[in-house]
């Protein structure tokens, strides 16, 4: 099996040998940089979604996008989930004035009066027939209870309720758990981009490498899932990785 270090060294060697590839050199400083490149996934049909389970006494409420306490709750949850230090300006940029998406609704997961999770339902500005799951976040104290999966499924049901037929999402290989949640709900890698996808396109070589890595991760997930279903798995899903 090819190690990450060997793969990274090999790619850097190729770049140094061919000056025309210099535009992607900055992406090959480490394997971590590969993991941070955006990947795309989609579910072509929102029919036949799994049923939402009862999570009482927890509940979901729609966010009021102009209320300061809720705005603060949003970026507090996102900062925990993504190890960022965002504030109100970041909220405005990523929710109110996003360049690629129209954010239709944002939903909080609540424990009494405590904001513990968040997810947004959006559509692409260039194709309003395709939904997007956007910025899933969860309070660290509530991890391991399947609540992230619940929020994604809640957003998918809302998209279906609002007349959308398909859904896409974007993430990176760094956020493996989020990718696995989407895989569990019928998403698969999208390697051929459409005009409505994000403008942050990587160079052709980098995109080809990332698509290959993402496809391998998806195949490993399917094999591991099949092992779980037959009771013979030796690898927990959290340990599946791209080597």
Structural domain boundaries, residue 225: 1-35+203-243
b/e 73-82 (16+ beta carbons within 10 angstroms → b): bbbebbeebe
9 & 115 share domain:
no
On the question of pLDDT at 200 being above 80, the answer is no
135 and 68 in a common domain:
yes
In a shared domain, residues 159 and 221: no
The pLDDT mean for the chain works out to: 83
CATH of the domain at 131: 3.40.630.30
**Do 52 and 72 fall into the same domain?**
yes
pLDDT per position as a tens digit, 92-112: 888 889 989 999 999 999 999
> To the nearest 5 percent, what fractions of the chain are helix, strand and coil?
45, 20, 35
**Neighbouring residues of 153: CB distance < 8 A, sequence distance ≥ 6:** 49, 50, 52, 185
How much of the chain exceeds pLDDT 90, in percent?
Answer: 56
Q: Are 167 and 86 in the same domain?
A: yes
pTM listed for this prediction: 0.78
Regarding whether 232 and 142 lie in a shared domain, the answer is no
Q: Are residues 80 and 113 in the same domain?
A: yes
| Cα gap 110→117, rounded to integer Å | 7
Distances (CA, A) of 161 to 25, 125, 165: 45, 19, 10
Please indicate, yes or no, whether residues 129 and 164 belong to a single structural domain of this protein: yes
Residues 73 and 189 in one domain: yes
Q: Are residues 94 and 183 in the same domain?
A: yes
**How far apart, in whole angstroms, are the C-alpha atoms of residue 60 and residue 138?**
13
């Amino acid at each position: 099996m090819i190690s990450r270090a060997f793969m990274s060294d090999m790619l850097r060697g190729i770049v140094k040998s061919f000056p025309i590839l210099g535009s992607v050199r900055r992406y090959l400083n480490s394997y971590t940089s590969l993991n941070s490149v955006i990947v795309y996934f989609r579910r072509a049909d929102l029919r036949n979604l799994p049923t939402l389970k009862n999570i009482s006494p927890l509940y979901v409420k729609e966010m009021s996008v102009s209320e300061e306490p809720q705005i603060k709750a949003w970026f507090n949850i996102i900062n925990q989930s993504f190890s960022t230090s965002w504030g109100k300006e970041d909220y405005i940029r990523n929710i109110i004035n996003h360049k690629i998406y129209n954010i239709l609704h944002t939903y909080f997961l609540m424990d009494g009066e405590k904001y513990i999770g968040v997810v947004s339902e959006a559509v692409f500005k260039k194709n309003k027939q395709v939904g997007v799951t956007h910025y899933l976040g969860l309070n660290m104290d509530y991890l391991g209870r399947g609540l992230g999966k619940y929020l994604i499924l809640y957003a998918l049901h809302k998209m279906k309720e609002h007349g959308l037929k398909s859904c896409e999402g974007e993430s990176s290989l760094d956020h493996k758990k989020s990718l696995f949640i989407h895989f569990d709900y019928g998403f698969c890698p999208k390697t051929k981009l459409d005009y409505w996808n994000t403008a942050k396109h990587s160079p052709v070589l980098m995109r080809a490498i990332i698509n290959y890595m993402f496809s391998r991760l998806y195949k490993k997930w399917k094999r591991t899932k099949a092992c779980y279903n037959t009771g013979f798995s030796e690898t927990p899903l959290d340990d599946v990785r791209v080597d």
